[in-house]
Amino acid sequence: MIAQQLINALTLGSVYALFALGFTLVFGVLEVINLAHGAVFMAGAYAALLLVTKANLNIWVALPLAMLASGALGLLIDQIVLKPLRGRRAHHLMPMIATIGAATLITNAAQGIFGAETSRFPLGTIPEESFQIGTIRITELQIAIVIISFLLMLLLMVILKKTRLGKAVRAVAENPQTSYLLGINVEGVFRLVSFTAAALGGGAGVLIGLSFNAIFPFMGQPLMPKGIAVIILGGMGDVRGAMVGGLFLGVAEVMSVAYLSSDYRDAVAFGLLFLILLVRPSGLFGRVLERKA
């Protein structure tokens, strides 16, 4: 049973990680807690659904297109909501509150367009095969989710660490003013980050929609507290931290169901989070706190 539960935890954890990745990226670079991330996540799932049902695309073609679409939505939120506030040097709580408005607008628009009911990908969108390895059963979808999540995360890390562009992003994250003086296109980096983060969120939405067979306007809501927990745990703004934090939360949830009681799932997961933060207040990889003050 333990092996099966580890598979369950890995699938759940990699989706949490993918969701948290975009979340943490925006925080790290724009210093905004983007509460519209859950809405973008939902929009990604609906975009893929439309592409599969209306345009009859294969899901693996629809996935990158849906990521582009949610990326564009993220860019739009940045330009309409966040940019004017940046221009006014607003207090850092204001963009956060503004993203709540954006989230409400997007979820309600989705409810207006698609209805409140749960939609799903038509049967046969994804291979339904499952493999039996010893006592473990694993579906092709679960394998795909883990691989795609890890690929996207690796890609992001490589770009951030190894390319000139990544260097620019990290420089802006460190200090936008200095970066600007050094000739870096700061607004361009902001746009790029908003786009990438939203695309990753949208991708997570598609994968969750596929995996749990449920797409609905409010599907992002239960993930928001988890996403926030993951990026706090990982260290605000840290990409590795979001990955490890996501996997940790997945394992903590599944294992508390497996070995304690499903009644205590959230209590255990968030209790552990609390304990870790007591020992490491800036999270596993965090060094953000000293920068804030």
Cα–Cα distance measured from residue 232 to residue 252, given in angstroms and rounded to the nearest whole number: 15
The DSSP 8-state label assigned to residue 263 in this structure reads G
CB of 62 to another protein, least distance (A): 20
Cα radius of gyration (the chain) = 19
Q: Which one among 58, 104, 130, 178 touches another protein, defined by CB under 8 A?
A: 130
Structure tokens, 45:
């799932």
- Applying CB under 8 A, the span of 80-88, 194-202, 249-257, 273-281 interacting with another protein comes to 249-257
Query: Judged by CB under 8 A, does residue 213 bind another protein?
Result: yes
Shortest gap between Cβ of 144 and another protein (angstroms)? 14
Beta-carbon contacts of 183 under 8 Å, excluding residues fewer than 6 positions away, are none
Residue 113 or 116: the one with the smaller Cβ distance to another protein is: 116
Which residues between 162 and 201 bind another protein (CB under 8 A)? none
Q: Do 92 and 291 contact (CB within 8 A), yes or no? A: no
The residues that bridge with 83 in the sheet, in sequence order, are none
Q: Are 201 and 44 in contact (CB under 8 A)?
A: yes
208: three-class secondary structure by DSSP: helix
In the set 116, 154, 275, 289, which binds another protein (CB under 8 A)?
Answer: 116
Distance of closest approach, residue 212 Cβ to another protein, in angstroms: 3
Per rule CB under 8 A, is residue 258 in the interface with another protein? yes
Taking a C-beta distance cutoff of 8 angstroms, is the pair 92, 32 a contact?
yes
What residues make contact with another protein under the rule CB under 8 A?
1, 4-5, 8-9, 11-12, 111, 116-118, 120, 123, 130, 132, 137, 139, 208, 211-214, 216, 219, 221-222, 253-254, 257-258, 261-263, 265-266
